Structures are given as C-alpha cells and as structure tokens.
Amino acid sequence: MILEARDIWFYYPGRKHAPVLRDVALSLCSGERVGLKAPSGRGKTTLCRLLAGYERPRGGDILLNGRPLSAYRGVCPVQMVWQHPETVVDPLLRLGATLAEAGPIETRLMDALHIQAGWLERYPAELSGGELQRFCIARALHPATRFLLCDEMTAMLDLVTQAQIWDFLLEEARRRDLGLLVVSHSDALLERVCSRVQTLA
C-alpha cells in the first residue's frame, strides 16, 4: 500500500493569501518509516490532518493506493496520534466507552502500553496527559490501521516511557507492516526511528 500527497495546497478559511502548504508532495509506503521536520507553524500538523482525512486539501490530492482517501468508508486505514490527546477523546464519555466505539482492543496492546484496566472506568480529565496519550496510541492501532501518523506523539512523556513506547511501536510496525510518519523536533528521535526524513520548506 502507498499513501501519497500530490501537489497539496492548503489554507485555512479566510486566509487564502497565506497558504499553510503550497505544492507539498510526500509519499509513504507500507513498512516505511518517514520523519517530517519543520520549524513551528510550517504546517506539519496540518499536513498530518490532510493525510488522515481530517481536512480536505484546497488543491492537489491525497491518494491511498491511487484512490482518493475520501472514497474509503468505515474505519480509515490512516490513523493519527495527536500532539494533544485530550482533544481527541469525548470529555463526557468514560474511556471504556470511547474505546468500545472502535471495537475491542487486544490485551497485548494494553499490556505493552502499560494501560491499566482501571483507567477505562475513568473520564479523560481523570488521567494524566501521558496516560491519555498511551490510550490514544492503543486506539489508533486499530486492526484496520495501515498507516500511523505520529504528530509529536511522545513530547509529553518522560524519556523512559518514550523509549518503551517507540520500541513497542517499531516492533508493532514491523510485525503489521505499518507505514509510520513521525513528526518531531527531535533530530535524535528521527534519526533513530526513521529511514528517511523530509523537511517542509
């Protein structure tokens, strides 16, 4: 499988004169690990949102195996782990209920990410940012996921936990032949995790 962004143009409503992305191209194959690097405000998160189908580009195409991403129904094969996990879980639902929406999660994933069963009884506000992020990673690793976009995924975690999560994720990606897009400001991380790094101009 291949996820491609072709000649992407994007601007936020009312800001046509200042596009966030202009003529951006990127491709990601199954099993490939690509890093994405750019100074703040250059559209890294926006590109991830476009690639995961949260937004539609104003120009250009997002293609999955040559078909527009918007043509895929059901669980999207491209999932994203956000920089701020508290925005992607409904504050009024217990985490167990949020998790149940996407189907049951393997205990193997729960164990590897050190997610305690008790967390599922809680509301998002009752978990720390790091705990919530591990929960979001587990959810994004749905059986149907083929590409995972990690937007500053481990920025709020301590170094030991970061290392544990990346070890696990790389192993999981190898096992399931996932394509990873890793957005980070950390050169060390990108160097360790990715096979190539693309910079947004």
Q: Return residues touching other proteins (CB under 8 A).
A: 52-54, 74-76, 79-80, 82, 87-93, 97, 101-102, 139, 142, 144
Of 94 and 176, nearer to other proteins (C-beta) is 94
- Nearest approach, Cβ of residue 167 and other proteins (Å): 25
Q: How far apart (Å, rounded) are the C-alpha atoms in residues 65 and 109?
A: 28
Contact at 8 Å (CB) between 80 and 149?
yes
Closest CB to other proteins among 12 and 121? 12
Closest of 84, 73, 56, 63 to residue 1, by C-alpha: 63
CB atoms within 10 A of CB 67: 10
Q: How far is the CB of 74 from other proteins (least distance, A)?
A: 5
Sheet arrangement for strand 67-68:
21-29, 2-10, 59-64, 67-68
Instruction: For other proteins, give the closer residue by CB, 25 or 100.
Output: 100
Closer residue to other proteins in complex, CB, 91/118: 91
CB of 145 to other proteins, least distance (A): 10
Beta carbon of residue 63, minimum distance to other proteins (angstroms, whole number): 17
